[in-house]
């Protein structure tokens, strides 16, 4: 199969994965995109897409029938989910068409927050104390045993969407009762104040091939619910936290059955005890332009290399990482009160990227030192807060 042209069906119900599509095409593949009709005017890399299929509304049965019709003339070799919300959808399609790759059982570990926690606990990976909301008695036992505050989390939402902080047993039951028949789609978890980290990686042959540890300077929960400014930065390379999280991420990938592809995993370091806890993971590239930050720090384009791994795996070819650099990078992103904010007054030579998105402002900086990055992010956060920042209430659901 090494010289055969392969047919990739890339599925995304959100505008992302541009570098994956470009890299996949550059590897000599036929690239097909299945996306929503509402996204047809986005800046997709049309030169890298052989054909695009639009859907008005996602329906599992209709999508399977549509792909089956196309399959009559196009023998698809790989289905790829580019967005977090598509992971389970594409796993279902792989099962239906008996396509190689992550199936539904494994996909649940990378989408369902309850499945993640149960599996991690079974495998001896540290997780905050949690409970499902299926059984009244179990909820009472949990509330009496584990002191508040707690976090109510949707099992299948992304980032901090839909998360609520709960301060008492009475408040917990009020929320549970209000959820009615939807309560089974949520879990409750002990809220542990601390630093939240993310480990962005590439995996091959059941092992972590590359990973980079970074720390949220403002957690996604704080940004979503406090109207804050999003920031993240590369962690100190060789530090105790960086080494511990690198090892813990590898344990999560092994426990969850990750064979190949990209991953984005989040952990928390308890402010009280210093313990590391697993929070959640996903079988995709991290959002919020974290991939760009990782690339400027390490030289590794997660989207592009993921496409190369997919191709090499199908063709039974050897894959090699690009040369890795060990620099420090940081990102700051905020909603803007201006549709097209002017960032020309930010002139530091460390700036390597500027966000080009309406009603947003964002910068990435790179330095040889962690302190240099953190110092600039502090300065920029203050300036953005004073001169540009705007905020919106957190949504209960992503879409």
> pLDDT-derived band of residue 28, with 50, 70 and 90 as boundaries?
very high
**CA separation for the pair 229, 222 (Å, rounded):** 9
Q: Residues 294, 249: one domain?
A: yes
For residue range 125-173, list pLDDT tens digits in order. Answer: 999 999 999 999 999 999 999 999 999 999 987 656 689 999 999 999 9
Q: What is the CATH number of the domain that holds 72?
A: 3.40.50.20
**pTM of the predicted protein model:** 0.92
Radius of gyration of the chain measured on its C-alpha atoms: 21
> pLDDT-derived band of residue 4, with 50, 70 and 90 as boundaries?
confident
Compute the mean pLDDT over every residue in the chain, rounded to the nearest whole number.
Answer: 94
Q: Residues 91, 184: one domain?
A: no
**CA separation for the pair 346, 26 (Å, rounded):** 35
pLDDT of residue 3: 66
Q: Residues 272, 338: one domain?
A: yes
Q: What angle do CA 285, 286, 291 make, to 5 degrees?
A: 80
Edge-to-edge, what's the strand order for the sheet holding 51-55? 51-55, 30-36, 7-12, 78-81
User: Do 45 and 307 meet the contact criterion of CB atoms below 8 Å apart?
Assistant: no
For residue range 96-127, list pLDDT tens digits in order. Answer: 999 989 999 999 999 999 999 999 999 999 99
Q: Residues 139, 213: one domain?
A: no
Q: Residues 249, 321: one domain?
A: yes
Domain count, the chain: 3
Q: What is the CATH number of the domain that holds 331?
A: 3.30.470.20
Q: Give the structural domain span for 49.
A: 7-101
Q: Residues 96, 139: one domain?
A: no
How far apart, in Å, are the Cα atoms of 252 and each of 76, 131, 134, 169? 30, 20, 26, 32
Lowest-confidence region among 210-219, 293-302, 364-373 = 210-219
Q: Residues 210, 270: one domain?
A: yes
Q: Residues 48, 159: one domain?
A: no
**CA separation for the pair 215, 205 (Å, rounded):** 27
- Work out the average pLDDT over 17-31: 97
pLDDT of residue 210: 98
Q: Residues 216, 239: one domain?
A: yes
> Contacts from 14-18 at CB under 8 Å and sequence distance 24+?
14/39, 14/82, 14/83, 14/85, 14/86, 15/39, 15/42, 15/43, 15/44, 16/82, 16/83, 16/285, 16/287, 17/82, 17/83, 17/285, 17/303, 18/43, 18/44, 18/45, 18/303
For residue range 233-288, list pLDDT tens digits in order. Answer: 999 999 999 999 999 999 999 999 999 999 999 999 999 899 999 999 999 999 99
Q: Residues 334, 245: one domain?
A: yes
Residue 58 is assigned to a structural domain of this protein: yes
> pLDDT-derived band of residue 2, with 50, 70 and 90 as boundaries?
low
For residue range 52-101, list pLDDT tens digits in order. Answer: 999 999 999 999 999 999 999 999 999 999 999 999 999 999 999 999 89
Q: What is the CATH number of the domain that holds 165?
A: 3.30.1490.20
Q: What is the largest CA-CA distance in the chain?
A: 64
Q: Residues 169, 96: one domain?
A: no
Q: What angle do CA 59, 65, 67 make, to 5 degrees?
A: 100
User: Do 90 and 82 meet the contact criterion of CB atoms below 8 Å apart?
Assistant: no
Which token pair is 127? 């997780």
């Amino acid at each position: 199969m090494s010289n055969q042209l392969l047919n990739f069906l890339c599925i995304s119900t959100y505008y992302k994965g541009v570098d994956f599509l470009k890299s996949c095409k550059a590897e000599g593949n036929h690239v097909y995109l299945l996306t929503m009709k509402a996204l047809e005017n986005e800046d997709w890399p049309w030169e890298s897409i052989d054909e695009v299929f639009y859907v008005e509304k996602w329906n599992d049965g209709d999508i399977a029938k549509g792909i089956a019709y196309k399959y009559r003339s196009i023998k698809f070799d790989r289905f790829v989910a580019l967005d977090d919300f598509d992971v389970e959808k594409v796993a279902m399609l792989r099962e239906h068409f008996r396509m190689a790759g992550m199936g539904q059982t494994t996909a649940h570990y990378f989408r369902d927050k309850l499945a993640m926690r149960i599996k991690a606990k079974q495998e001896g990976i540290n997780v905050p104390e949690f409970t499902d909301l299926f059984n009244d008695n179990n909820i009472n036992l949990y509330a009496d045993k584990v002191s508040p505050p707690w976090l109510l989390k949707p099992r299948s939402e992304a980032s901090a969407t839909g998360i609520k902080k709960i301060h008492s047993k009475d408040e917990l039951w009020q929320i549970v009762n209000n959820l009615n028949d939807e309560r089974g789609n949520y879990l409750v978890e002990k809220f542990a104040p601390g630093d939240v980290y993310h480990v962005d990686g590439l995996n091959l042959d059941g092992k972590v091939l590359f990973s980079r540890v970074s720390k949220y300077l403002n957690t996604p929960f704080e940004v979503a619910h406090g109207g804050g400014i999003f920031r993240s930065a590369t962690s100190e390379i060789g530090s105790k936290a960086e080494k511990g999280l690198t090892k813990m991420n590898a344990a999560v990938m092994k426990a969850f059955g990750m064979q190949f592809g990209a991953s984005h995993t989040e952990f928390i370091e308890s402010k009280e005890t210093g313990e590391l806890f697993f929070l959640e993971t996903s079988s995709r590239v991290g959002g919020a332009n974290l991939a760009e930050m990782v690339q400027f720090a390490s030289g590794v384009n997660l989207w592009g290399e993921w496409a190369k791994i997919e191709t090499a795996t199908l063709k039974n070819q050897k894959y090699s990482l690009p040369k890795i650099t060990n620099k420090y990078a940081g990102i700051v992103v905020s909603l803007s009160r201006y549709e097209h904010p002017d960032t020309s007054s930010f002139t530091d030579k460390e700036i390597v990227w500027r966000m080009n998105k309406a009603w947003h402002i964002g910068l990435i900086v790179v330095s040889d030192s962690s302190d240099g990055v953190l110092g600039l992010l502090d300065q920029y956060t203050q300036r953005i807060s004073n001169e540009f920042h705007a905020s919106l209430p957190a949504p209960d659901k992503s879409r």
